[in-house]
Structure 1
Amino acid sequence: MIERIKYQDIDFEKYNNCIENSVQKNYYCEKEILDFLSKNWELLVYGDYEAVMPIPFVKKTFFKVVLMPLFCQQLGIFGKSNELINEKFLKFLKTNYNVINYSFNFHNDFETKLVTKKNFYLPVQEYAFLRRKKYFKGRKSTVKTAQYLEFREVFAKKDILEFIKNNFKGLEKESDMDFFIQYLLFLDKKKQLKMFGSYYEENLTNVAVLIDNENYFSLLGLLNNEELKNHNGASFLIDRILHLNIETKAFNFMGGSIRGIEVFFKSFGSDLQEYHVIQNSKKDLIKNWLKIS
């Protein structure tokens, strides 16, 4: 049986225990992270917290809608999980909520056919083997020609944050960019922010923004100075980060559904991880609201 629990009624001791002991555990399901990224969320629970599913939502005039927060890639079902249990969660979600978009984690499988998105991931492995056997030939060549660049760790100071603001693509609203900067400062305070830059003659060409988890890095952003992009700083940065870390930490590229980005991520020898999503148009949303209201 699936139970819907409001935020204030969640037993967070049981929730955390379920998350910590689940094979699906990821960074986004942690209470502190969800609290920051989503103003509102509640929980679906199977049994006595045998499995849980966080539901982020926003409040509209007449109803609330399920919407993945900015910078949150995968949520879904955590804990005891199989296709039968997952189908129960899916049915409850579709029957009781108006969903604009919701992303499950890549461990969640369903009998129902759902749309999928792509993510790319590199497990811990020997760097020399990765570069020799798995890098695309063109990527090896690009990395080799960019070795004149200088690699540095950079920090959340005014000049770096300004570089990020000026070169981040994909955020239409100024308020979204402001929230991204707040998020970086939040991660920095938690000591979970790592940033690296590539320099050409003291000019910053690129910045890689990473979430530093215990066992893996997640790529939150890869920023390019368009005037200096011919130096291939993005390839240089990713390769150097892998060189220094891939033998002890996995690397999550955090995306890849856009063709050009997919090719770039794949060229470093990464593995495809597909995850299921629910996406609805405004028209679909209104139809569903009429059904469940």
Structure 2
Amino acid sequence: MIKYIFNREIDRNKYDTAVKNALNTRVYACSWYLDAVADDWDVLVLEDYKAVMPLPRRKKYTLNYIYLLPWVQQLGIFSNEKISENLIKAFIKKIPGKYALVDYYFNSGNHFKSKYLTKRTNYILPLDSNLDIIIKSFNSNRRRILKKDFSNYTINKQGDREEFLGMYRQTEKNFTLSEDAVEKLQNLLNTKQDSVHIWNVYQENKLLAGLLFLKDQKRITYLLPVASAEAKKNNLPSFIVSELIKSYQNTGFILDFEGSMIEGVAGFYKSFGAEEEVYFHYKKIL
């Protein structure tokens, strides 16, 4: 039996255990993460938290709707057992009719057919080998770039979060981001969770680039890279990724690049030998 449970009634221990132990676990579905990035959220639960589906929700005027969250690529149904197409459809049917719109990203472990689905592409790199073997999967241009001397740069692997956020606000590409997205980013940076990591890259005392990444039991999620024009010119984004791979080589983690549908960005990820991972965007007006 699938039940709709309001946020205030969620058994957080059972919910987070279900997400943590899921075959398709994602850090985005953890309760602390949803608390940081969602206005509000409830959950659909199978039996005694055998499977869970978090539902971020909003209300505008009289309109209730399920919406896409900033800083979240994949939600969907999570379980420690294989999730069938019939189960996915059963969950969808249990979404209350009061929601006039369901705009939602399912995870790569949720496979089903629907006319309301749009294919999305992610890129992932397994870190189950040593660095020398992983580097062999880089394309020739990426290997050439990484042969350059980066000894003038230092990485603070416990980077200052406010300094990172300040640089993020200053980069030109972020001027069009909503204040809501920036506020939710601030919420994430304010969490005390060990899953949230900041690496800041300096030349002497000058901050040139940074990376916000997430770590759960299975994945290193490359959530938000930031780089100045000078940093890009000097290939610091490549340097940061290579150092991340170096740090987590031979661990069995998956480096999750979190996208992208943008050709140039996807090309950057593929240059490290990343593999395509498909997930789906579900959008239905009820």
TM-score, normalised via structure 1 length = 0.85
The one-letter amino acid paired with 2:36 is: F
Whether the aligned pair in 1 keeps the contact of 2:64 and 2:101 (CA below 8 Å) is: no
Question: Structure 1 residues 238 and 78, CA, compared in 2 at 3 Å: closer, same or farther?
Answer: same
Distance of 1:17 and 1:194 partners within structure 2: 22
1:109 aligns with 2:111: yes
The one-letter amino acid paired with 2:33 is: I
State the Cα deviation string for residues 104-162 of structure 1 (Å, max 9, x = none).
11101103352121111122222111102x10111111222253442312522544432
1:165 aligns with 2:146: no
The one-letter amino acid paired with 1:268 is: F
Query: What do you get for the CA RMSD once the two structures are aligned?
Result: 2.4
Specify the alignment match of 2:69 in structure 1: 69
Q: Which runs of 5+ in 2 are unaligned?
A: none
Specify the alignment match of 2:182 in structure 1: 177
The one-letter amino acid paired with 2:282 is: I
The one-letter amino acid paired with 1:104 is: F
Distance of 1:19 and 1:227 partners within structure 2: 40
The one-letter amino acid paired with 1:29 is: A
**CA drift at 1:172:** 2.1
Whether the aligned pair in 2 keeps the contact of 1:195 and 1:209 (CA below 8 Å) is: yes
Specify the alignment match of 1:291 in structure 2: none
State the Cα deviation string for residues 27-57 of structure 1 (Å, max 9, x = none).
1221222122212111122334332211111
TM-score, normalised via structure 2 length = 0.87
Which one of 97, 100, 111 corresponds to residue 99 of structure 2?
97
Distance of 1:130 and 1:279 partners within structure 2: 37
Specify the alignment match of 1:145 in structure 2: 148
Distance of 1:45 and 1:232 partners within structure 2: 46
3-state DSSP class of the match of 1:180? helix
Aligned pairs for 1:14-163 within 5 A = 14-79=14-79, 80=81, 81-93=83-95, 97-113=99-115, 114-124=117-127, 125-132=129-136, 134-153=137-156, 154-156=158-160, 158-163=162-167
Question: Structure 1 residues 273 and 168, CA, compared in 2 at 3 Å: closer, same or farther?
Answer: farther
Which one of 192, 196, 200 corresponds to residue 193 of structure 1?
196
Greater fraction of residues in helix: 1
**CA drift at 1:228:** 4.1
Whether the aligned pair in 2 keeps the contact of 1:198 and 1:236 (CA below 8 Å) is: no
Specify the alignment match of 1:9 in structure 2: 9
Distance of 1:14 and 1:173 partners within structure 2: 34
Distance of 2:145 and 2:173 partners within structure 1: 23
Distance of 1:47 and 1:256 partners within structure 2: 35
Relative to structure 2, which stretch is displaced further, 176-185 or 99-108? 176-185
Whether the aligned pair in 2 keeps the contact of 1:87 and 1:112 (CA below 8 Å) is: no
Distance of 2:187 and 2:168 partners within structure 1: 12
Distance of 1:178 and 1:13 partners within structure 2: 27
State the Cα deviation string for residues 238-284 of structure 1 (Å, max 9, x = none).
1122122222243111221211111111111112111111136xxxx
3-state DSSP class of the match of 2:187? helix
Q: Which runs of 5+ in 1 are unaligned?
A: 289-293
Which one of 216, 221, 241 corresponds to residue 219 of structure 2?
216
Question: Structure 1 residues 56 and 140, CA, compared in 2 at 3 Å: closer, same or farther?
Answer: same
Distance of 1:160 and 1:8 partners within structure 2: 33
Whether the aligned pair in 2 keeps the contact of 1:219 and 1:254 (CA below 8 Å) is: yes
Count of matched residue positions in the alignment of Structure 1 and Structure 2? 279
The one-letter amino acid paired with 2:86 is: L
3-state DSSP class of the match of 1:277? strand
1:238 aligns with 2:208: no
Whether the aligned pair in 1 keeps the contact of 2:123 and 2:270 (CA below 8 Å) is: yes
Distance of 1:270 and 1:122 partners within structure 2: 5
Distance of 1:138 and 1:88 partners within structure 2: 47
